Structure 1
Amino acid sequence: MSEMRASAEATVTVTEVLLPGKVAPSGLRLVRRALPAPAAGQARVRVESTAVSFAERAMSRGRYYGQPPFPFVPGYDLVGVVEAVGPGVDPALVGRRVAALTKTGGWTTAALLTAADLVEVPDGIDPDEAETLIVNGLTAYQMLHRSAKARAGQTVLVLGAAGGVGSVLVQLAQDAGARVIGTASPRHHQALRALGVEPIDYRDPDLAARVRELAPGGVDAVFDHLGGASASLSYRLLNRSGTLVSYSIAAKLDDTRPLLLDFLPLLAKLTFWNYLPTRRHATFYDVWAGAGKPDSAKREAFRSRMRTDLTHLFGLLRDGVLTARIAARFPLDEVVAAMELAESSARTDLGKIILTP
């Protein structure tokens, strides 16, 4: 106990990746700073695994809704081991492997986090594999089961089926008994077929016709990360009682106009469609929806839902129902190369790009 208290009171030096502004990957900077001891309710987590996601790519362009002012440390999620805790936190947490959804701050060797936001990772699960299921897994699981309420025998269309979210989503849909059609670059089609997905070239000018050939009556759900015109096409591909789940505006990633000029029209379309006299439904999914303020009752409900879903996902990974899809691994000090790969159109492997501090 005395050793734990001494550790909790100590200041440690960490290495972080700083995003100084709207920069290319080469503009990312490695910095060192002193990390204070955990305050009341906090835990210090030694980071074992974090990752590059679409969010960091958007943040580097100033295109992620709700991102903090520059400069800041990116990193949407992480897995690590609790090294020390502050007052009011159970000392038994020290030494436990945990996962955290952070939005920012994950690209570091150690982080101070609110202990109540941590989710324990079961023994025997590799930290890099666990990392693939935090934001990507939660997004995929909650869209499929909480938004679309997918059932066995349905047909779903996953846009971007080779990406971080898509590669988890297709596995979860198949575990639910759904048939999966997925769009991707042809270089990913063989890997998708191996997963049981029916692939379509995302650049096919007759993409809608290809989907209709596979599902003449329309699909039961579409998961659309592109937004814009793609959302309208996705809605038309639904059957008479289908659900469109939109969860990003990736098609507008490189636009220079204000983000709200793209985001608000999408929300307006989704809302308008729900007022039409049909049984179709359209929604926008946000992993942070309903989070509320850190000390609110809403936040407690959000934490409970996240813990329940993420624990379930870890169980599916442990039992072999899910396979962690890792596109590449880089040490934290090679974050520039990791971001360049994430930006590359020549990327060939499915899944997430991992950073290991």
Structure 2
Amino acid sequence: MNSEDLTPTPLAARATRATQAVQVVLPGIVAPEDLQIRRASVPEPGPGQLVIAMEATGVSFAEQQMRRGRYYDQPPFPFVPGYDLVGRVLSTGRGVTPELAGRRVAALVKVGGWASHVLVDAKDAVEVPDGLTAAQAETVVVNGITAWQMLHRTARVRSGQTILVHGASGGVGSVLAQLARAAGVKVIGTASARHHEALRELGVTPIDYRAEDVAARARELAPGEVDAVFDHVGGRSVIDSWHLLAPGGTLVSYGSASTRDDTGSKQMPVLKILARTWVWNALPNGRRAHFYNIWAGRALDKDRFRTQLRDDLTEVFAALQRGDITARIAAQLPLAKAAEALHLAESGTVSGKVVLTP
């Protein structure tokens, strides 16, 4: 079968031959049940490339937005979603050391991860240290890189400071909170009440965003205001977060979850946040505002982007091995049950990463 012989079939179908690659396809703005699966030849690596036999990929908030057509720079439909993956190197192309074959690596791809075999540039693959399973490593690829870079590269939080993490029980928020605690930072975190005990066990002071006035409660817990706020909510929350900052504090906005189900322009919520950050940064009060985009530096300097990604993911893997952060796996489901996995992730009832396996 060549690349022109791809035939979408119902998601419940499974590949029957090991020589075939299996891909979950998002055909348009559809319900999870309308995801499709297609079979194709296992790709051949070109110069500087390698093929990863996927062992674990995840369901992140990005895929949830893409399903609704709300991710601000998603590709046109149809496409294979999947922001990241972990797997074994199956084959290498010219210019790539053959010794990589068989090694477990992780890759950040934005799309394409929901597949049994994924073609990537070898420079984008980061080796996973021994002692971590594929599922454990998967929980901290996009979530871990995002959390590490926002905490240490963007906000540059220091020991003894106090931060507010919105969605502290979520994928990025939970990793960020744990990394901050490991760095000697006091963490206040918003979450629904059912997650509060788990947050307390991590050393996080919880706020129930559904039942409490978050801004008022944060001021009670941190009378001197907070040194940094990490906000994925967007909308009005960004404004409240800005006003909670102490002099010299930093706001890091990295999403607009509150507009997930809105209609209209998918770029507008992000553009509004960017406009606010530009205005706020012009004020002479010492506070800074940033909109974090994990891909922002790639177009400007691809080599520097890759170096930072490799360095930061290596730091995150080391933190996972030390026990500074935990691999919180909510569920593991086979690739053919991507619809079920997506429903579970979107339900808001689970804590941790929903992981897909071959």
Quote the offset at 1:324 in angstroms.
1.0
Q: Give the Cα–Cα distance (whole angstroms) in 1 for the partners of residues 159 and 89 of structure 2.
A: 40
Percent identity among equivalent residues?
57
Query: Which digits, 9 at most, give the CA deviation of each residue in 1:62-120, with x for residues without a partner?
Result: 11121111000000000000011111111111111000000000001111111111000
Amino acid at match of 1:161: A
Distance 1:46 1:34, change over 3 A: same
Number of residues of Structure 1 aligned to a counterpart in Structure 2: 341
Within the candidate set 219, 240, 248, 1:212 is matched to 219
Hey, what does 2:196 align to over in structure 1? 189
Q: How do 1:41-120 residues align onto structure 2 when only pairs under 5 Å count? A: 41-120=48-127
Greater shift after overlay, 104-113 or 311-320? 311-320
Q: Give the Cα–Cα distance (whole angstroms) in 1 for the partners of residues 32 and 141 of structure 2.
A: 23
Structure-1-length-normalised TM-score: 0.93
Amino acid at match of 1:319: R
Q: Are positions 1:307 and 2:313 aligned together?
A: no
Quote the offset at 1:354 in angstroms.
0.7
Q: How do 1:1-357 residues align onto structure 2 when only pairs under 5 Å count? A: 12-292=19-299, 298-345=301-348, 347-348=349-350, 350-357=351-358
Structure 1: gaps spanning 5 or more residues: 1-10
Quote the offset at 1:292 in angstroms.
1.7
Quote the offset at 1:205 in angstroms.
4.8
Q: Give the Cα–Cα distance (whole angstroms) in 2 for the partners of residues 331 and 109 of structure 1.
A: 10
Q: Give the Cα–Cα distance (whole angstroms) in 1 for the partners of residues 311 and 291 of structure 2.
A: 22
Quote the offset at 1:36 in angstroms.
2.9
Provide the secondary structure at the position in 2 that maps to 1:174: helix
After TM superposition, the runs of 4+ consecutive aligned structure 1 residues lying more than 2 A away are none
Hey, what does 1:3 align to over in structure 2? none
Quote the offset at 1:42 in angstroms.
1.0
Structure 2: gaps spanning 5 or more residues: 1-17
Q: Give yes or no for contact 1:85–1:94 (8 Å, CA) kept in 2.
A: yes
Provide the secondary structure at the position in 2 that maps to 1:354: strand
Quote the offset at 1:12 in angstroms.
3.7
Q: Give yes or no for contact 1:155–1:220 (8 Å, CA) kept in 2.
A: yes
Q: Give yes or no for contact 2:43–2:117 (8 Å, CA) kept in 1.
A: no
Q: Give the Cα–Cα distance (whole angstroms) in 1 for the partners of residues 31 and 20 of structure 2.
A: 27
Q: Give the Cα–Cα distance (whole angstroms) in 1 for the partners of residues 248 and 208 of structure 2.
A: 26
Quote the offset at 1:260 in angstroms.
2.0
Q: Give the Cα–Cα distance (whole angstroms) in 1 for the partners of residues 209 and 340 of structure 2.
A: 26
Q: Give yes or no for contact 1:161–1:184 (8 Å, CA) kept in 2.
A: yes
Q: Give yes or no for contact 2:43–2:118 (8 Å, CA) kept in 1.
A: no
Query: Which digits, 9 at most, give the CA deviation of each residue in 1:29-66, with x for residues without a partner?
Result: 12111133111111011000000000000001111121
Q: Give the Cα–Cα distance (whole angstroms) in 2 for the partners of residues 205 and 320 of structure 1.
A: 32
Structure-2-length-normalised TM-score: 0.93
